[in-house]
Copies of this chain bind each other. A is one copy, B any other.
């Protein structure tokens, strides 16, 4: 048996998220079908991050066990030729130690959220950004973001149905990066994320940026451990899983 690691990129717009469902196109489902087509084996892929419907990836990681003897570079080419739609790319296929598991072995993840802070539409960015027309106070957003850095119980930013054993996560970096033409990147790097955590944090930061609540509310929001205390979730289309870190 070999264990293989896939590195993946996708435009999530036309996927119902990572995880296989009874109906609908999913990243996991497309990949498992491609693996079966190329190797003849039905496998179950483990994904590092089970991205929601509409969420994109530049460096998602998945793993599976297989008996195929196809060399990894040939397998990559085969999988890509089986994935004809073009919105899903296999960037790398590599043999890894047998006990490697894309999710359990992960030591950290980097997500990027793109806000288009402009009163004008940007048609070329619309699939990958959340347009916020009102001006955002970056200084207030940075003040609120700083409160979340460190090891905390993030229950206030956790969706119902999250199956994580503990709500405690280490937020290693939460940074606002100004880009061209009103695009604002919000980058979040943590040991791991709870379900819905990035979008709940971004939604809350944007409410702070719009002046709907002061940055000084953030410590109380975090301490409440109550999802109702935080802001509305930001839409999926702005979110991209950039990188998964392993030891």
Contacts and interface: CB of A to CB of B under 8 A. Distances in A.
Interface residues of A, number: 20
Interface of A is mostly: loop
Contact of A80 (B10, B88, B121, B122): B121
Interface in A85-108: 86-89, 91
A177 interface: no
B56 A124 contact: yes
Given A11-B126, A126-B11, A89 B120 contact: yes
Contact of A123 (B11, B120, B124): B11
Contact of A89 (B10, B58, B87, B121): B121
Interface string A51-85: 00000101000000000000000000000100000
A87 B11 contact: no
A18 interface: no
A9 interface: yes
A58 B10 CA distance: 24
Contacts of A91: 120-121
Contact of A87 (B56, B88, B126): B126
Contacts of A87: 123, 126
A10 B86 contact: no
A185 interface: no
Q: Which of A11, A121, A122, A126 has the most CB of B within 10 A?
A: A121
Contacts of A240: 124
A9 B80 CA distance: 32
A101 B9 CA distance: 44
Contact of A126 (B86, B121, B124): B86
A128 interface: yes
Contact of A86 (B9, B11, B123, B128): B123
Contact of A11 (B9, B56, B58, B124): B124
A139 B128 CA distance: 34
Contacts of A56: 123-124
A9 B122 contact: yes
Nearest to A92: B120
A119 to B, nearest CB: 9
16 contacts: A9-B123, A9-B124, A11-B123, A11-B124, A11-B126, A56-B123, A86-B123, A87-B123, A87-B126, A88-B123, A89-B120, A89-B122, A89-B123, A91-B120, A91-B121, A127-B127
